[in-house]
Each structure stands twice: as C-alpha cells, then as structure tokens.
C-alpha cells in the first residue's frame, strides 16, 4: 500500500456509487500491449497507460488504445530517476515526452507518473507548469519482481483492495499471463473498474 500527502498527487479516485478501482500500466508501449488490449476488451475494462516516449513509434497500436477508451499519460522520455536531475532537466524531460505523445497521438496529455515512483518538489513544480497531474498508486502489484511466480501478482492486489484504489501494473509478460484472472478476482470481490 502507498499513499502521498502531497497536494495534487493522485493515489486514488473519488468513491462512486459502485466500489471501483483503476488499473494502470507502466513502461509501455511494449510488445505485449496488443495482448493486454485483447484481455481488456474481452473483459470490458478500460485502463490508464503511462508510456515512456522513447518506446513510442507510429506503428505501436496507440490508435487502438484510444479507440477502445483507454487513457494515455506520460512516464517520461527515458525512464530516468527524476529526483537525480535538476529542475530544468526534469522540466525538459517531461516537456519532450508531452510533445512526442501529443505529436504521435494527437491527444492532450494530462497525466504523468514519475519513473520508479520517485519525485521531489522540483518534479511537482515541473508537472504543475506543464499542467500535468501526477498519478501514483495505492496498490503495487510488484509484477516486475514476479516473473517466476506471476500468481503472486493477483495475491498482492486482491489482498489490499479498497474503494477508489489505483493499481500499479506493468506491460510485462507475467502481468499479461494473469491479467484475465486478476480482473475476474477483483470483480468477484464486488469491485468495478473506472478511469481517472
């Protein structure tokens, strides 16, 4: 479980009529993105994707992401730890990532997730100047550590479910492997899926 006391940093959404959570995927667009989208479409779930713009090419299925109702935010250009950079370097990294995302997709970028979940006051100031809302999470699936034991991804999420929680996932093969079951387990506990 994670939370932030910083004003303007989102870790959960406002409660709705039905209990709901938000699925987010970092570190794309990756090779498994088409299969992740297949599962989300089959299960009728919309999600938020935070992309490293160095991985974004016109041939990646970004049009499908938007057509199927998902959101795309920036995860920086090159996934550098922003707290190790000066304010100017952080600002330039985020600005460059916005320009590329907007140039390729034609959408306005509103959301930002800092690489490694690390940020400082300079990061927040840069985000504010660029009209970005920083999005963190309440529940970390730890999927990046569970290549050999993907079922623990499900356990890590469902044991910590709470209304409005933002869930951290990644565009990884092990996440794809359990995604359908994860969605069904979340639903079996009375939760639906929302966007930011």
Give the count of domains, the chain: 1
User: How far from the centroid of its chain's Cα atoms is residue 59's Cα?
Assistant: 21
Structural domain includes residue 107: yes
pLDDT at residue number 4: 74
The pLDDT of residue 61: 84
Give pTM, 2 decimals.
Answer: 0.95
Inter-CA distances, 23 with 118, 122, 193, Å: 20, 27, 7
Residue 137 belongs to some domain of the structure: yes
Answer whether residue 187 is part of any domain.
Answer: yes
80 belongs to a structural domain: yes
Examine residue 3 and state whether it is found in any structural domain, yes or no: no
Q: Would residue 60 count as lying in a domain?
A: yes
**Domain assignment present for 50:** yes
> What does pLDDT average to over the chain?
94
CATH number at residue 55: 3.20.20.370
| Whole-number pLDDT of residue 40 | 98
Give the residue numbers spanning the domain of 70: 20-193
> Is residue 8 a part of any domain in this protein?
no
pLDDT tens-digit map of 14-61: 877 789 999 999 999 999 999 999 999 999 999 999 999 999 877 778
């Amino acid at each position: 479980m994670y939370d932030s006391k910083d004003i303007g940093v989102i870790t959960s959404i406002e409660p709705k009529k039905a209990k709901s959570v938000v699925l987010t995927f970092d570190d794309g667009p990756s090779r498994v993105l088409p299969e992740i989208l297949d599962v989300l479409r089959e299960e009728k779930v919309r999600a938020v994707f935070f992309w490293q713009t160095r991985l974004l090419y016109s041939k990646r299925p970004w049009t499908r992401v938007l057509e199927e109702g998902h959101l795309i935010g920036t995860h920086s250009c090159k996934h550098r730890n922003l707290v190790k950079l000066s304010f100017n370097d952080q600002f330039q990294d985020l600005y460059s990532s916005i320009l590329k995302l907007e140039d390729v997709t034609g959408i306005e970028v509103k959301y930002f997730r800092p690489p490694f979940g690390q940020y400082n006051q300079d990061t927040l100031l840069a985000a504010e100047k660029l009209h970005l809302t920083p999005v963190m999470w309440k529940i970390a699936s730890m999927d990046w550590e569970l290549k050999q034991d993907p079922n623990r991804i499900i356990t890590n999420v469902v044991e910590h479910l709470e209304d409005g929680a933002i869930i951290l996932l990644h565009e990884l093969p092990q996440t794809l492997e359990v995604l359908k079951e994860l969605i069904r387990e979340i639903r079996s506990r009375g939760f639906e899926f929302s966007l930011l």
